[in-house]
Amino acid sequence: MKNFLKLITLSLITISCNGLQNNIEQYSIETLMSNNRSSGGYFSKDASKLIYSSDKSGIFNIYEVDLKTNEETQLTDSEEESFFSRGYSPSTDEVIYSADIGGNENSHIYIIRDGKSIDLTPGKNTKASFFGWTNDELEMYVISNYRDARFFDLYKIDIETLNSKMVFKNDRGYNLNSISNNDNYLVLSLNISRSEQKLFLYDVKSKQQVEISNQVANFSGQNFDKNDENYFYTTNYDSEFYYLMSYNLKNGERKIVFETDWDVAFSYLSKNNLYRVIAVNEDAQNKLTITNMSNQSNLNLIGFENMNINSVGFSDDEKILRVSAGSPNSPGDIYTYELSTNKLNKITSNLNSKVNPNDLVNAEVVRYKSFDGLEIPAILYKPHQANKFNKVPALVWVHGGPGGQSRVGYRALIQYLVNHGYAILAVNNRGSSGYGKTFYALDDQNHGEDDLQDCVWGKKWLQDQDYINPDKIGIIGGSYGGFMTMAAMTFEPEEFKVGVNIYGVTNWIRTLRSIPAYWESTRKSLYKEMGDPYTEDSLRLYNISPLFHAKNIKNPVLVLQGANDPRVLQIESDEMVQEARNAGAYVEYVLFDDAGHGFIKKEQQIEGNEKILTFLENYLK
């Protein structure tokens, strides 16, 4: 009788669980990709308008919102290339934007004048970026490698004539961090290694420079205060985490401004120094505070209680905020917020009205022990229908990098896969950023070894969860994560049932020898971290490169690649696929002719993500 009652109870539980599963709608990739993405959000000089970029046309175009009427106008109608807004010209109200060609990352800066786009930084191989405005707001700063593909120089462009002139010639591989409000000082940084940068204050008129960094540590420039009396930067000297410092330009005095037990990701002052913004990378998501500098009180923005605020921007008069905020189960949106009235205005509506966010899942930060006892942080996305009576397949997700971080937030592919019944564990293996400099350095000259074991032990953690099918676990990742995927399939061929490699490195010798010329400022530090491919380090690089060990692959692999990728060349994936097939492995290959290191167009994402799900349905589930 007891056994009979147990069977009845079990049946009722199973029916209840199946009922829950039936209440969760599974969305097509077309439906989920009809969610939009937006970026930017810049006020006009008088704060009457705001421009931003959105891919609601299928590709990123620029939209302008009249903040008095909320009327929106599409300013560009590109069908081929993505356009990203960079702001208004403060003196002419004209729109500035950037765009590359086919994902080649050689972005140019454009101005929309009289309804036409004018390229301000021409040159086939030129890569340029917007850098700000002069004090009188009549000239624009841009950085460009037009003169020498390896180095970025600083230029001023007269906004009336559009003529340019060089302000700083860069022959040493500096990174340009900030320009002072009075146009007199430039802050430069120099990468020595992954654990050391130098920071310099350069006098534009005298061409003399002094070093701000006075210790061997990481340094990252932030901004000047209103009167250019102090410069603010972050450093992790004598600390595991970055904290905020000030440097006095007159006497060289340094002071700690803000310190906590996580990295200060960024900080800046509003134009008139009324507010200070500090973002802390706390356990894989930004915790942002806005401090009123007059009384040191923190602003409490009303209406964002269930969201994570990623960034804010002030109008020139510091009366209105642009807020970018979102959550793991809904794409982020852009808002404006009036500080005097707490009036909230939603500018974008990126979630498709046909998608119920309750059908999508939130993220949970978890931790597990790796092979050597090291605690590994990870982000878990658990399907609603997963339970011990309905065990689901799973994927270990590996971020890009090296040195990247999986972060809490909305990702269309993750939600698509979880919505279709796949659990995702996004691991932050040793070497990931955000967990202190000791953790960050643990994979130096050790890639494809201990960090790979962190992924394997992530799989073991998944197997211990009662809602996971322990025999159906794969691995997926892009860029460095794609390398880790192929490393898992070649060096641990029994562990993962499938691998999804999204533009992943497979031949480290070639990748490190063929990095873009404009990476010159980071080349030496990258070689120190990974190994110098022109020295005996190449032996180790050969040993960890999946391409040369394709014969070990036993389980199915899917490879996705962009033909215009400047970081991981198409030949990397071409050769990996061919070698794996020659060895008898089953490999599917998806190549996008007009994509780079990342698939920007919606049609690319729809095709790529749908093929990933189909592959998993056929070979994992």
DSSP state of 327: E
Q: Kindly report whether the global pTM for this prediction surpasses the value 0.85.
A: yes
pLDDT exceeds 70 at position 524:
yes
Amino acid 430 reads R
pLDDT score recorded for residue 24? 87
- What mean pLDDT do residues 424-445 have? 96
pLDDT at 33: 85
Q: What per-residue confidence (pLDDT) applies to 134? A: 98
**How many Å apart are CA 335 and CA 348, to the nearest integer?**
7
Asked if residue 10 has pLDDT above 70, the reply is no
Residue range 483-504: average pLDDT?
A: 98
pLDDT in tens, 57-106: 999 999 999 999 999 999 999 999 999 999 999 999 999 999 999 999 99
Average pLDDT over residues 117-146: 97
Residue 12, pLDDT above cutoff 50: no
What pLDDT sits at residue 520?
87
Q: Say if residue 315's pLDDT is above 90.
A: yes
**How far is 268 from 571, CA to CA, in rounded Å?**
42
By C-alpha distance, which of 334, 314, 313 is closest to 62?
Answer: 334
Residue pLDDT, tens place only, 238-271: 999 999 999 999 999 999 999 999 999 999 999 9
521 pLDDT band, cuts 50/70/90, is: confident
Mean pLDDT score, 157-180: 96
CATH class of 361-619: alpha beta
Q: Per-residue confidence at 22, pLDDT binned at 50, 70, 90?
A: low
Looking at the chain, the whole-number percentage of residues with pLDDT higher than 90 is 91
Spatial contact of 576 and 559, defined as CB atoms under 8 Å apart: yes
Give the per-residue pLDDT at 421: 97
396: left (phi over 0), alpha (psi -120 to 50) or beta: beta
Question: What would the 3-class secondary structure string for 263-313 be?
Answer: EEEEEEECCCCCEEEEEEECCCCEEEEEEECCCCEECCCCCCCCCEEEEEE
- Work out the mean pLDDT of the chain and round it to a whole number: 94
What pLDDT does 1 receive? 45
